[in-house]
Amino acid sequence: MLIFVFMDKINAILIDDEQSARNVLTNLLERTSSNINILTTCSNLEDGVKQIKALQPSVVFLDVQMPNYAGYEIVNFFDEINFEIIFVTAYDHYAIKAFELNAIDYLVKPIDRKKLALTLVKLEDKLIKQAALVDYQTLLKTIKDKDYKKIIIPELGNRRIVSIEDIIALEADGAYSKIYLKNSKTITTSKNLKYFENVFPKDVSFFRSHRAWIINIIHVECLNKAEQTITLANGTVKAKISRSRIDQFKNIVQL
C-alpha cells in the first residue's frame, strides 16, 4: 500500500541579469505565495544551469534577454528539461517562444502581482498532477511486480519512496512519527503510529512493542527484559517494549 501526499513547498531558482529585477521578483514571490522556496538567484544562464543541475528545482523563473545567452537557449544545456519554466520578459512577443518551449507561463515586466498569482496557481496545479502521476506509476509497478513493500511518506514538504524492509523502527513524537532507516537516516512525518499500523501490508514484519514504538522484527538484535528495551540494527536504535508485550514478542521472534 502507498501513501499519497503532495509537496507543500515548491523549490525555485531565479535567473535574471539585473539585480533589481531579481530583488523585485523575490519580494513579489514572498508576498504572493508562501509556497515558493527560493533556493538561489543567478545573474546569467551559465551559472543558472550549474545551479539547476546541482539543486534540482521544481521551477525556474527565467529572464529572456541576458548577455551571452538568451533565456530560451536553456534547452541547449539539458538533454531533458525536468523542471518547469516561467519566462520573465520586458517584451510581450516572447510569449510565442515561451509556449514553443512548453513553459508554464510568461510574465511581462513590470510584473503584475495578480498575473503572478494566477501563474503560480497554474504552476501548483501542474506539479500536483505530476506528483499524482508519479504515485500512480509507482503503484502500478508495485502491483505488477507483486511487491507490496514500498511506501511513500511525507518528509518536511517532500515525498520519499522507502522500501519497507529498510525501516528499522517508528517512534511516536507527539502528533508526528520518527522513522529510523537502515542507512542511519531519520525521517520525521506528520503521520502517527496508528496510521502506519493501518497502511502497512499485513504480511510484513512489524510489531507494536510499545504505545510509542513500532519495530521491524528483521532488524532485531536483542531483548533486555530488565530494561524493557529492544536493540535493533547493530545497536543503532534502542526501542521500548511494554512488559505486557514481552511474551508475545518472544513467541514471534522465537527468543
Strands 186-189 and 105-108 turn out to be unpaired
Q: Where are the domains of the chain?
A: 10-130, 162-253
Give 88: exposed, middle or buried? Use CB within 10 Å, 0-12, 13-18, 19+. Answer: buried
d(CA 99, CA 26): 24
CATH 2.60.120.1060 is the classification of domain 162-253: no
66, 40 in Cβ contact below 8 A? no
Per-residue pLDDT at 3: 35
Alpha-carbon distance values, 181 to 6, 96, 170, 185, 242 (Å) = 22, 48, 9, 5, 23
Three-state secondary structure of 158-187? EEEEEEHHHEEEEEEECCEEEEEECCCCEE
Alpha helices in the chain (DSSP H): 19-32, 45-55, 95-100, 113-145, 193-199, 246-253
Is 162-253 in the same CATH topology as 10-130? no
Per-residue pLDDT at 8: 55
Q: Nine-digit cell at 225?
A: 527484559
pLDDT digits (tens, 9 = 90+) for 7-54: 458 999 999 999 999 999 999 998 887 689 999 999 999 999 999 999
Our CA dihedral for 94, 95, 100, 106, rounded to 10 degrees, sits at 110
CATH 3.40.50.970 is the classification of domain 10-130: no
Q: Nine-digit cell at 151?
A: 511506501
Per-residue pLDDT at 5: 37
Per-residue pLDDT at 156: 63
Q: Tell me which of 2-6, 24-28, 100-104, 250-254 is least confident.
A: 2-6
d(CA 212, CA 221): 19
pLDDT digits (tens, 9 = 90+) for 151-207: 778 766 667 778 888 999 999 998 889 999 988 788 888 888 988 887 777 666 889
47, 9 in Cβ contact below 8 A? no
Give 203: exposed, middle or buried? Use CB within 10 Å, 0-12, 13-18, 19+. Answer: exposed
- 107 three-class SS: strand
Per-residue pLDDT at 169: 95
Number of Cβ atoms within 10 Å of the Cβ of 137: 10
The shares of helix, strand and coil residues in the chain, as percent rounded to the nearest 5, are 40, 30, 30
- The residue that leads in pLDDT, 144 or 224, is 224
Among candidate residues 23, 29, 31, the one with its CA nearest the CA of residue 11? 29
Strands 59-63 and 84-89 turn out to be parallel
- pLDDT over 50 (residue 68): yes
